[in-house]
Amino acid sequence: MKKILVLSTSPRKGGNSDMLADAFIEGAREAGHAVEKVCLREKDIRFCKGCLACQKTQSCVIHDDAPAIVRSMQQADVLVFATPVYYYAMCGQMKTLLDRANPLFPAEYAFRDVYLLAAAADGDESAVDGVVNGLNGWITCFDKSRLRGVVRGVGATLPGDIRQKPAALEAARQMGRQA
């Protein structure tokens, strides 16, 4: 049994990337994994100040909801990021969390496998390339981890449009089962 942390980063409730996250969770629970889901839209997460104090203290000078989420990230075996594509990149909420996870850079961490679930209006799978590049930049700095799988939920604009893309939802469910 693995400890899986799913980070749903869209500000849109019931949105397409959140539905991909729920499909992944369904599969992971079927496989017997322990899953925690965190929705960033319910959290207060401020921007990293860039002070780098965390590199000495391993804790952040900002007292908001990020440190608790970062602790959960540190302890999870598997991280799953669900994001909408915003201007061919990850959404700002997800990037802000990755920056705030900087206390983990000099620390020990459990996670090894990282998954990405992305939703985009554009129907071309390349619409997600910028998100993959951005997340890989973060993963490169955590060299015990690797990007294990990506679901490209393309051609989904309005909340729930992803239901018209059953292959993407099934891919997320299957990824959860095999995590």
The CB-of-142 to ligand FMN minimum distance in angstroms stands at 25
Residue 6: which of 70, 80, 66, 71 has the closest Cα? Answer: 80
Query: Whose Cβ is closer to ligand FMN: residue 15's or residue 149's?
Result: 15
- Is residue 168 involved in binding ligand FMN (CB under 6 A)? no
Asked if 15 interacts with ligand FMN (CB under 6 A), we say: yes
Q: How many residues bind ligand FMN (CB under 6 A)?
A: 19
The residue range among 52-60, 104-112, 156-164, 166-174 that interacts with ligand FMN, by the rule CB under 6 A, is: 156-164
- Give yes or no for residue 129 binding ligand FMN (CB under 6 A): no
Amino acid at 153: G
Assign 3-class secondary structure to 102-143. HHHCCCCCCCCEEEEEEECCCCCHHHHHHHHHHHHHHHHCCC
Closest-CB residue for ligand FMN?
A: 15
Residues 95-114 that bind ligand FMN (CB under 6 A): none
Q: Give the residues lining the site for ligand FMN (CB under 6 A).
A: 10, 12, 15-18, 84-88, 119-122, 127, 156-157, 159
